[in-house]
């Protein structure tokens, strides 16, 4: 019997007059693209987007009028994300009626990881602080608002020089484009790193991971290029690293010769195709080990021919510990 599809995540963009357009439009496009990638793969959409505000029409930071906005909801289905974004200018003015209504609504939120989570972009963290949601939390914001955030909520551990910070059910990003980094990170957590990589490719984004990760994910590394054929290969391998991949098989996906594919990988991805494949399989095996599978199961699920091959790759790429005793996951 086929297991039921996971419940979709309802994503609520809470907007005010003057909300920075890129703060909400960038993450919204990333989530839309993730849905499109899932549907193309025969899966159900995972994100339902809502745009809510105290007023049905607000002007964005660039002057465009946003109409048809829904009221701030009285109840939120689980799971839900609330995304609070920044506004143009200096210190955030919360004296207006719309801002006061938003703060009142935010104060009623009961954050719980996996059920109701708060994501802030740029100075959205300052609004969350005014609502009392950052007391005892770690958070970041745009560098121009770091002092303001600390003044607004002295009980918040304000973190500088971070792309974003994850603290339980609270995720805060530094500003503007980093909101897309944060949402890509959450897409990877919900839908898998291959989908996040496809979204980044579609939006022509260089990928970064969370600030606590010691290195970029192999699923996301070597993809800061624009070559469609190499991306096709990387998409196919990331979707099924356990398949019987060889350079000729990958070349078929790219519609080129094996020798030319190797040249393309070295030029655009800056790594040979088989070395990149081993990195992907090693990352997949490590994820399976952390999920509770034994070494033999992880090796098979990642596409290694044997336990020995997995252990060899583990040593080759300098992973600490061993497949039988892997280090703790570094995912933020």
Distance (Å, whole) CA 80 – CA 142: 24
Instruction: Give the closest residue to 103 by CA, choosing from 13, 16, 10.
Output: 16
Distance, CA of 253 to CA of 244 (rounded, Å):
13
Q: Whole-model pTM above 0.75?
A: no
Q: What is the CATH topology of the domain spanning 9-194?
A: Rossmann fold (3.40.50)
Beta strand 164-167 pairing with 170-173:
antiparallel
Among 99, 108, 170, 107, which residue's Cα sits nearest to residue 140?
A: 170
Q: Are 220 and 199 contacting, i.e. CB atoms less than 8 angstroms apart?
A: no
Task: Enter the DSSP assignment of 220.
Answer: T
Q: Are 277 and 237 in contact (CB under 8 A)?
A: yes
Give DSSP secondary structure letters for 33-50: HHHHHHHHTT----EEEE
CA dist., res. 284 & res. 326, Å (int): 13
Q: What residue spans define the domains of the chain?
A: 9-194, 217-316
Cis preceding-peptide flag for 328 (omega within 30 of 0): no
Class of domain 217-316: mainly alpha
Q: Where do the DSSP E strands lie in 132-257?
A: 138-139, 157-158, 164-167, 170-173
The tens-digit pLDDT sequence of the chain (332 residues) is: 566 778 999 999 999 999 999 999 999 999 999 999 999 999 999 999 999 999 999 998 998 899 999 999 999 999 999 999 998 878 999 999 999 999 999 999 999 999 999 999 999 999 999 999 999 999 999 888 999 999 999 999 999 878 899 999 999 998 778 889 899 999 989 998 888 888 887 887 654 444 444 335 677 778 877 788 998 899 899 889 999 999 999 999 999 999 999 999 999 999 999 999 999 999 899 888 887 889 999 999 999 999 999 999 999 888 888 999 887 643 33
């Amino acid at each position: 019997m086929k297991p039921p599809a996971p419940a979709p995540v309802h994503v609520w963009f809470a907007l005010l007059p003057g909300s920075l357009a890129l703060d909400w439009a960038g993450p919204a496009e990333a989530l839309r693209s993730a849905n499109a990638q899932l549907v193309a793969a025969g899966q159900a959409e995972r994100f339902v987007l809502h745009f809510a505000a105290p007023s049905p029409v607000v002007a964005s930071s660039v002057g465009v009028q946003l109409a048809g906005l829904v009221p701030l909801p009285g109840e939120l289905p689980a799971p839900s994300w609330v995304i609070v974004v920044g506004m143009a200018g200096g210190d955030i003015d919360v004296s207006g009626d719309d801002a006061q209504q938003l703060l009142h609504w935010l104060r009623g939120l009961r954050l719980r990881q996996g059920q109701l989570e708060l994501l802030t972009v740029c100075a959205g963290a300052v609004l969350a602080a005014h609502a009392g949601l950052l007391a005892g939390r770690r958070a970041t914001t745009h560098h121009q608002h770091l002092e303001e955030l600390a003044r607004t909520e002295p009980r918040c551990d304000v973190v500088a020089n971070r792309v974003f910070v994850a603290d339980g059910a609270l995720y805060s990003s530094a500003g503007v484009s980093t909101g897309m980094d944060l949402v890509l990170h959450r897409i990877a957590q919900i839908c898998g790193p291959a989908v996040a990589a496809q979204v980044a490719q579609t939006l022509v984004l260089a990928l970064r991971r969370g600030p606590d990760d010691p290195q970029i994910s192999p699923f996301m590394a070597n993809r800061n290029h624009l070559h469609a054929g190499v991306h096709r290969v990387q998409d196919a391998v990331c979707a099924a690293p356990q398949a019987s991949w060889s350079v000729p098989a990958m070349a078929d996906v790219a519609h080129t010769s094996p020798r030319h594919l190797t040249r393309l990988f070295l030029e655009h991805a800056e790594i040979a195709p088989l070395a990149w494949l081993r990195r992907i399989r090693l990352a997949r095996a490590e994820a399976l080990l952390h999920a509770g599978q034994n070494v033999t199961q992880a090796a098979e699920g990642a596409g290694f021919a044997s336990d020995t091959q997995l252990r060899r790759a583990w040593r080759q790429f300098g992973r600490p510990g061993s497949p039988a005793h892997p280090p703790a996951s570094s995912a933020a």
